[in-house]
Structure 1
Amino acid sequence: MSPSLGLLVRSARVAHGWTQRDLANRLHCSRSTISRLETGAQPLDDVATIRRLAEVLEITPTALGITATVTIHPPAEDDVRRRQLLTGLAVTAAAASAPARAAVAAAAGPETNPREYLLARIRDAMLGTGHPNQPIQAPQLPSALNAAIRDYDNCQYSRLADALPRLISSGHSAGETASSVLAETYTLVTRIMIKLDDQLGWVAADRARTLAAASGIPLVAGEAARNLAVLARRAGLHIQAAQIALGMAEDEMLQGRDPTLTAERGLLVMSAAYTAAHAGDRSGMRQLTEQAAATAAQLGRGVLLRDHGGGFSPTAVQLHLISAEYAAGDPSAAIAAARKLTPRSLPTLERRARYFTDIARAYGMWGRRNQCLQALLHAERAAPQETHSRPAVRDLVTSLLVSGRTSPELRGLAARCGIP
């Protein structure tokens, strides 16, 4: 699919006020497929699929390069048609986007759909749209950030929907004096966007890294780089993701005997290990994980940098190993790693929810439907807003619904996750 056709699809989607996942649900495909279509990375040659795409987006098939008789328009005519339609859609999207976002946030509400409400509030704050937020005075910004981190650790999305927009707008208003707080705020936003599978994570990560460099604080810079590496990995840029993580771990600013610097290096090595798992390099994943485990053992059993996504410790490395083994394609090894942990040993509610979700994903890959469902229900009991909001959970629940016999427990979970 050409970049111009991809832009056409994206513009039509935005004009409807849909996310990539909204369009994917209507086409019964994955969000990543829509992303590849919009960037031109995936060709679209099937006529039936093109017609279905045109139908859902409410545009003519000719705009996507086919006619009623399935003949291709001359290139020049196609280009003219696309340019005209793109212009119209761009105008429509620009005119409709602000009220559409407000409508989504208002319709969703913090309790009925915390994910959409949180995303809508953060988008407005980052884009400078929506209603002004109540300002936070500069001296109170650090304590407000700490409170937001606690809300993240406790999976309180509805509270974050109020706290993060205020931190963003107030941090920018405070200027250079708040660069480190604002960098950490954007790092937290990036972490949330990664979890919720929203593309605005790239913008937040770029802002976090720029502000972190300006602050000159090693731990802030390390976390900004780690989140950027996660985004690169999720985009399939495995080599670049490993370079970002390991390059930062070796950076001069993170060297020294300070335990927190050592812990940050350990977190970056764990990120590189997870990237190796996604790249299919199981040996590399295990070698890097062993390196992180040795570092954690040297530091002792306590948790360091708890505010950095749950922190670094031997327990954190073991939790990482569950998802790494799953990503490397070995669900039995993932379950074996999980059995070496107990949920109460994990430092935050968010980490406990991740533990159960990772177990569910491993059981799902293994084809053990009942164990997968039970793990998801444990995750829901631990952190309902987190579980109902995560696309990874929704994908698992959808897979269970279509792959075999359903149960009242499964249908109830699907309903609570907003899956029809």
Structure 2
Amino acid sequence: MGQLLIGRLRDAMLGIGQDHDLRAHEQLPVELARVHVDFHTCNYASLAVRLPRLIRAGHLLGSDAEGDRLDLLGQSYLLATRMLVKLDEQQLGWMAADRARQVAEAGGHPLAVAEAARNLAVLARRAGWEEQALSIALNAADAPALRASRSGAAERGLLIQSAAYSAARGGDREGMRELTDEAAAIAAGLGGTTALRDHGGFSLATVQLHRISAEFSTGDPSAALDAARALPPQSLPSVERRARYYADVAAALAQRGRRDECVAALLAAEHQAPQETHSRPAVRSLISGLLMSGRATPELRALAARAGALP
């Protein structure tokens, strides 16, 4: 499913081929809402059809609908970037992220500009450019426009927690914890979950989810598991975030050598979001590592078969 989605996004972004089922202009906002639901529920089979179609539709809208065109393309490219990051498709991810940035700036939407910067920071971190990723996120978080609304504050929180993850990847545990605490303070000040059109939401729970990944990235799986124990997964705002929780816990358990618990966490992730669990290269790599490093239980081999991770 992941490779199918990558291929269809690539062709839509390159303007190759055509879609014979493009929606009428007035139907596009409904299609965009469905695409967001597909992402947050990890329905990648539907996303592989709808998201490339939206990108094609956005490029075909005429100048008489310039505002709608920029909004549609901006939203579509932001979501495409997040999906390509998940699937570890760096080249196309950079292309989608840059287009999202250009469209957001042309449309003059501060939140979209900030979210595009956050995606660029993630890609920079994935490329091993931790300092640059940190700078991109923190510079975007300083934008005055983000201090004028609740949604702007939530976007600042997302950028700061992204910067915390970059600090973690750079080996700066103290900096990571300071930035994570700053993001948590913003979330506490907002109270509850702040829904964002370009993101599933921002809350104390989503900051804690990032803390799990960040602690693990500093080389401390025990601290990651401590952070996970403090977070009830049902408090997370979407299926996609809950699946991420279980996958992150599984990675930390694997590092601690707790194989049976690791497999149980992977099965919980699969129960939440099978298409997500089967598609993410990081999860499939973890499953393959378990197969090669010790006893393969029937449950593990069955999971590996479903994820296409058998040798």
Q: TM-score, normalised by structure 1?
A: 0.71
**1:252: Cα distance to partner?**
2.6
Instruction: Please state if 1:143 is matched with 2:30.
Output: yes
Query: What 5-or-longer segments of structure 1 have no aligned partner?
Result: 1-113
State whether residues 138 and 171 of structure 1, in contact with CA within 8 Å, keep that contact through their aligned partners in structure 2. Answer: no
Instruction: Please state if 1:254 is matched with 2:141.
Output: no
**1:137: Cα distance to partner?**
2.7
State whether residues 225 and 252 of structure 2, in contact with CA within 8 Å, keep that contact through their aligned partners in structure 1. Answer: yes
Instruction: Please state if 1:297 is matched with 2:152.
Output: no
Worse-matched range after superposition: 116-125 or 225-234: 116-125
Match of 1:187 in 2: 78
Code of the aligned partner of 2:206: A
Match of 1:223 in 2: 115
Helix, strand or coil for the counterpart of 2:21? coil
Match of 1:364 in 2: 254
Match of 1:213 in 2: 105
- Distance in 2 (CA, whole Å) between partners of 1:273 and 1:161 is 31
- Distance in 2 (CA, whole Å) between partners of 1:167 and 1:376 is 32
Identity of aligned residues (%): 56
State whether residues 133 and 169 of structure 1, in contact with CA within 8 Å, keep that contact through their aligned partners in structure 2. Answer: no
Worse-matched range after superposition: 135-144 or 156-165: 135-144
Code of the aligned partner of 1:216: G
- Distance in 2 (CA, whole Å) between partners of 1:355 and 1:133 is 38
Q: Larger radius of gyration, structure 1 or 2? A: 1
CA RMSD of aligned residues (A): 1.2
**1:253: Cα distance to partner?**
2.7
Helix, strand or coil for the counterpart of 1:280? coil
Match of 1:309 in 2: 199
State whether residues 112 and 198 of structure 2, in contact with CA within 8 Å, keep that contact through their aligned partners in structure 1. Answer: no
Equivalent residue for 2:289, pick from 399, 408, 413 = 399
Equivalent residue for 2:87, pick from 196, 200, 222 = 196
State whether residues 212 and 225 of structure 2, in contact with CA within 8 Å, keep that contact through their aligned partners in structure 1. Answer: yes
Match of 2:58 in 1: 171
Instruction: Please state if 1:131 is matched with 2:18.
Output: yes
Helix, strand or coil for the counterpart of 1:311? strand
- Distance in 2 (CA, whole Å) between partners of 1:174 and 1:198 is 27
Over residues 228-272 of structure 1, what are the superposed CA-to-partner deviations in whole Å (9 max), with x where a residue is unaligned? Answer: 10000000011111111010110233232x111111101000000
Helix, strand or coil for the counterpart of 2:286? helix
Helix, strand or coil for the counterpart of 1:347? coil
Match of 1:284 in 2: 175
Code of the aligned partner of 2:165: Y
Helix, strand or coil for the counterpart of 2:219? coil
Helix, strand or coil for the counterpart of 2:195? coil
Instruction: Please state if 1:349 is matched with 2:239.
Output: yes
Helix, strand or coil for the counterpart of 2:207? helix
Between the two proteins, the alignment pairs up a number of residues equal to 305
User: Structure 1's 232 and 133: CA in aligned 2 closer, same or farther, altered over 3 A?
Assistant: farther
Over residues 176-204 of structure 1, what are the superposed CA-to-partner deviations in whole Å (9 max), with x where a residue is unaligned? Answer: 32102211110000000000001211100
User: Structure 1's 307 and 369: CA in aligned 2 closer, same or farther, altered over 3 A?
Assistant: farther
**1:133: Cα distance to partner?**
4.3
**1:306: Cα distance to partner?**
4.2
Q: TM-score, normalised by structure 2?
A: 0.95
State whether residues 331 and 363 of structure 1, in contact with CA within 8 Å, keep that contact through their aligned partners in structure 2. Answer: yes
Higher relative contact order at CA 8 Å, sep ≥6: structure 1 or structure 2?
2
User: Structure 1's 230 and 403: CA in aligned 2 closer, same or farther, altered over 3 A?
Assistant: same
